[in-house]
Amino acid sequence: MFIKKKNNIDLNNIPQHIAIIMDGNGRWAKKRGLSRSVGHREGSKTLKKIVEACYELGVKYLTVYAFSTENWSRPKEEVDELMKLLLEYLRNAEQELKGKNVRIRVIGEKTGLTDEIISEIERVENNTSHIEGLDFIIALNYGGRQEIVRAVTDLVEDVKAGRETVIDENTIRQRLYTRDIPDPDLLIRTSGEIRLSNFLIWQSSYSELYFCDVLWPDFTKNHLLEAIRSYQGRQRRFGGVIC
């Protein structure tokens, strides 16, 4: 098979789904004597660049961890700034992505979000639902354990009501937020931390993991390419044996 390459990347072996834990905004700001809010705003700028880079590379799905169910425990000022940034991003995303085939989805619990944010989520999801190209998925007020509990609870209720008779991996998967999205091929975490922090814990069972020391605001397309090169140098066995 002909191998088409760019930047030493095999364009025939681009991960279909990349997931990113965007970590390090606060530490980036602290190193510069700035407020954490400034770090989050810089991180938002980085996100826009990485979405465009994934689109250019032909990635089909990009899921980012924007706000976890545990993040509510942060200082109110920081949470308010994060929500403000998310609202701005949703309002402006279509204009900034104009000319690109990008569908926007948001996964996570709506409980705790303002009516304004919920309305904006519904608007941008409806307006981009017909687009085929890159599916950009924002995990907002999301927790992996909470997602599984929610899915199992729904399944048990269906069994009790006689709507379902089998409990297995597939019936649970069909009740996850990502029911129609393939599992991540590559999961990236920035900032040097080496853990999943309750992100896509069901879906990442066989994902290739890539951890880098770069703080999220400093993460560039070149860092993304390095993660993809690492992915392309691995053999994915899914529990089997490659001879």
Q: Which residues are catalytic?
A: 23, 71
User: Cβ–Cβ contacts within 10 Å for residue 117, how many?
Assistant: 19
Backbone angles phi, psi at 68, to 5 degrees: -95, 165
Residue in the block written with tokens 């942060």:
74
Is the Cα torsion angle 227, 228, 234, 237 positive or negative in sign? Answer: positive
Burial class (CB within 10 angstroms; exposed 0-12, middle 13-18, buried 19+) of 2: exposed
Contact 190, 216 (CB under 8 A): yes
Write down the residue that tokens 């000022």 correspond to.
77
